[in-house]
Amino acid sequence: MSGRRGAIKAVIWDFNGTLINDSELCVRSVNAQLDRRDLPTLTVETYRDVFGFPVADYYRRIGLNPDVEPMSDLSAEFFATYAPGLSSCPLHEGVQPTLHALRDAGIRQFILSAMEQEILEETLAQLGIAEFFDGVYGLSHLEGDSKLDRGRELFADFSIDPATTLMVGDTAHDAEVAVELGMQIALVGTGHQSEARLRSTGVDVLQGAAGILSLLD
């Protein structure tokens, strides 16, 4: 959805790759898994060309086999490397002032993430940005599947009108969720999928989170 937006009363943020800059940590973490299995490792560039949801399908693309090794085991192995490094990942440039500006404008903000709920809440607290969000919705497990059902719960819990809500994410799955729930959508090209892949969805692709302010003018 391109061009000028209707009045926005709520913004629903994705977290990983959209607010927090954790792509390099994700690559290090999955490369540890690939190394253990003598599989080719990824660069940040090749990762952004293959990553997607559900994570099980992405694993298959890079040589891991959830049909042989359960997703619960593969996810736990990934998080054994990823979780300790998360506290050192910064917010993307422009995120904090954008959160402030939206709050000052009276726009409600939420998070809808494929990260496990407890880890998500702890990370938001460590980053010092938990106060900006009226609701934080992650998953109940580590396996990174669709967040569509959690999005429906978020809408119901907060009586959100999708027509006046903007979803901001960094993957094609975020666009799919937004379309399914009837939201407006903008994607940032600084996260977990390449800008070319994001542009193929046909929606706005911004250089960073701060770019959404220009969409709300």
pLDDT digits 0-9 by tens, 10-30: 999 999 999 999 999 999 999
Residue 1 pLDDT level (bands cut at 50, 70, 90): very low
45 SS3 class: helix
How much is the pLDDT for 13?
A: 98
Question: Do β-strands 108-116 and 135-139 pair in parallel, antiparallel, or remain unpaired?
Answer: parallel
Mean pLDDT confidence for 108-132 = 95
Residue 67 CB contacts under 8 Å (≥ 6 apart), including other chains: none
How much is the pLDDT for 145?
A: 58
- Tell me which of 15-19, 136-140, 144-148, 180-184 is least confident: 144-148
Domain spans, the chain: 10-21+90-215, 23-86
Q: Give the Cα-Cα-Cα angle 47, 48, 49 (nearest 5 degrees).
A: 90
Q: d(Cα 140, Cα 142) in Å, to the nearest integer? A: 7
Superfamily of domain 10-21+90-215: HAD superfamily/HAD-like (3.40.50.1000)
pLDDT, tens only, 166-202: 999 999 999 999 999 999 999 999 999 999 999 999 9
- Single pTM value for the model: 0.92
How much is the pLDDT for 143?
A: 54
How much is the pLDDT for 4?
A: 44
Extract the tokens encoding 26: 């994700």
Other Cβ atoms less than 10 A from the Cβ of 77: the count is 18
State CA 100 to chain mean position distance: 20
Percent helix, percent strand, percent coil in the chain, to nearest 5:
50, 15, 35
